[in-house]
Amino acid sequence: MPVDKQVLLRYRVLNECFRNRHREYTIDDLVNECNKALRAAGKPDVSKRTVQYDINELEGEPYCIRLNENLKRGRQRLYRYVNTDDSISLYRMDDEERDKIEDAIFVLKKFKGEPIYDWVRNVLMQVEAGLFDEATSSFVSFQTNPDLKGLEHFAPLLHAIITKRVLKLTYTPFGKDTIIETIYPHYLKQYNDRWYLIAIVKESGKIGNYPLDRIDGFEDVALPFKDSDIDFDEYFDDVIGVTVNPEEPVDIFIKVSRESIGYVKTKPLHLTQHTMEEHDDYMVIKINVIPNYELDSKILSFGTAMEILSPESYRAHIAEKIHAMNEKYTDNAENLHRK
């Protein structure tokens, strides 16, 4: 999410709510407080998911806020700092400097999704945290991969989206034959250090996602462009990654072993993550998502440190994958032993 005036306003409101020791705020209360401030500033309301995402952002770097995980009213979580004297610093520049930076960010928002925008956003986060000055430039490093295959397609595809051009796309999925499709390009999304083109396929009307590194080429097609009523900024809210299956999101309960508790707390699996139980040796979290390939990969990447508790259907699905992996390693070990 871009660090613009609306985001900073929400951060300021959340900071004041978290510091208030005389009132207990549910997530709905926080949404109401943010929207009251936004309306007063002539800005549109935001959703609960947006505020949940804001909280996740504040819990990460550079702000690293610490909320009381055990504060509840019945089954509802309440939000307050562990130490109500804590606060986040959002205004360390003078008004003239801030106005200039925010005006520049307003212009850069038009290029949201372009790799350079992510870099600018990271720099601004350093400035907002008061960590960036002339002496720190040699101590700051940003993760990037200039040799990532497919990045040469980024600018032309972005221009095609902006100018609403229909494309004939040629791409080769991993392990499959080359495919040629006529598409209406709508969105570019990054996930797990890979960029994806999100488009509507002309023939089927379905939404397709195309990793840029698998795109062989594309050319304009002289056809009228088809707009979509989908808000792609929110389209991926219910999933991890870029695969959106035609299902409703479900509550998934996950047991996390002690060695991964800190990691999962500081880097949530999803913006809906909520701690249900916490013990010395494990904690139980809940996320509300549509199961997909990326979620499977994320769960399996934790190995024995993560266990699906429910729903039973998804637990069985992951168990099947673990069983197949076990058989593969067992068979390979036997074959190697014979050799």
pLDDT in the model for residue 90: 63
114 secondary structure, DSSP code: S
pLDDT in the model for residue 276: 94
Summarised one tens digit per residue, pLDDT across range 171-226 is 998 888 999 999 999 999 888 878 899 999 999 999 999 999 999 999 999 999 99
Summarised one tens digit per residue, pLDDT across range 33-87 is 999 999 988 889 999 999 999 999 899 887 889 999 889 988 889 999 999 888 8
Helix (H, G, I), strand (E, B) or coil at 298: helix
- In this predicted structure, the answer to whether residue 93 has a pLDDT above a threshold of 80 is no
> What's the Cα-to-Cα distance from 288 to each of 69, 215, 216, 227, 311, rounded to whole Å?
18, 32, 36, 29, 11
Q: Write down the pTM of the prediction.
A: 0.57
pLDDT in the model for residue 334: 60
> What's the Cα-to-Cα distance from 158 to each of 129, 164, 179, 187, rounded to whole Å?
31, 10, 21, 8
d(CA 321, CA 160): 39
> What's the Cα-to-Cα distance from 299 to each of 249, 262, 282, rounded to whole Å?
17, 16, 16
Architecture of the domain defined by 151-235: Roll (2.30)
Query: Structure tokens of 233?
Result: 């900024």
Other residues' Cβ atoms within 10 Å of the Cβ of residue 304: 9
pLDDT in the model for residue 240: 93
Domain ranges within the chain, ordered by starting residue = 5-139, 151-235, 250-335
Summarised one tens digit per residue, pLDDT across range 113-161 is 555 555 566 555 555 444 444 444 444 444 555 556 778 888 889 888 9
Mean predicted confidence (pLDDT) in 91-109:
57
Domain 250-335 has CATH 3.30.70: yes
Summarised one tens digit per residue, pLDDT across range 257-306 is 999 999 999 999 999 999 999 999 999 999 999 999 999 999 999 999 99
d(CA 89, CA 162): 36
Q: Is there a contact between 188 and 115 (Cβ–Cβ < 8 Å)?
A: no
Q: Of 94 and 29, which is predicted with more confidence?
A: 29
Q: How far apart are the first and last CA of the chain?
A: 54
Q: Is there a contact between 91 and 5 (Cβ–Cβ < 8 Å)?
A: no
Q: Chain centroid to CA 80: how far?
A: 24
pLDDT in the model for residue 338: 59
Crossing angle of helices 48-59 and 5-19, in 10° steps, is 80
Summarised one tens digit per residue, pLDDT across range 220-258 is 999 999 999 888 888 999 999 999 988 999 999 999 999
pLDDT in the model for residue 285: 96
